[in-house]
Amino acid sequence: MSDRVVTVTVPEWFPKSMEQSVNEQRMFEFVLCESIILQFEQVRDGRSLEEMVTILDHFSDAALWQVLAYRVPYTVYLREQELVEKDPLSSQEEQELEELTRITIRFMRVRSQAFLLLKQRGYDIDRYAQEQAR
């Protein structure tokens, strides 16, 4: 796999101290990680999600930990719970619940891949999961 050069233009107000890190691999990984997470609602087929998930193989450990630290937005969680508890649902609400459920499933898939990769890289993921459950 060959590397590609990506030019990032930043606005005038962007801190000069951050300009350097934009071009570093670490910053690229964090931006890519955010893109994957924030794009959940736009992924419409399993293949696209799987393509996005395979990108995680190239992430540093720090970026994978960032994936684990991310949570589904609270508003999405609340709305999904509200719809689950409501009976009966209108057809529009059923569609909304299905989409929110798809978002949650996509999130869990990406997070599971990050868990797996960190475990393969020698981290004590079982301990991490126990600490998160507290």
**Tens-digit pLDDT profile for residues 8-28:** 676 676 666 666 555 555 666
Domain membership of residue 84 as a residue range: 16-133
8 within domain boundaries: no
Number of folded domains in the chain? 1
User: What pLDDT score was predicted for residue 22?
Assistant: 56
4 within domain boundaries: no
User: What pLDDT score was predicted for residue 124?
Assistant: 93
List helix spans (H) across the chain.
16-22, 25-38, 46-55, 61-69, 74-85, 91-120, 125-133
90 secondary structure, DSSP code: P
In the predicted model, what is the mean pLDDT of residues 24-45? 59
pLDDT at 41 over 80: no
46 within domain boundaries: yes
For the stretch 65-120, pLDDT in tens is 888 888 877 888 899 999 999 989 999 999 999 988 888 888 888 889 999 999 99
Higher confidence at residue 24 or residue 56? Answer: 56
11 within domain boundaries: no
2 within domain boundaries: no
User: What pLDDT score was predicted for residue 84?
Assistant: 95
Amino acid (one-letter) located at 113: Q
User: What pLDDT score was predicted for residue 118?
Assistant: 96
122 within domain boundaries: yes
The rounded Cα 5 to chain-centroid distance in angstroms is: 24
User: What pLDDT score was predicted for residue 6?
Assistant: 66
pLDDT at 29 over 80: no
Which distant-in-sequence residues (6+ apart) come within 8 Å of 48 by Cβ? none
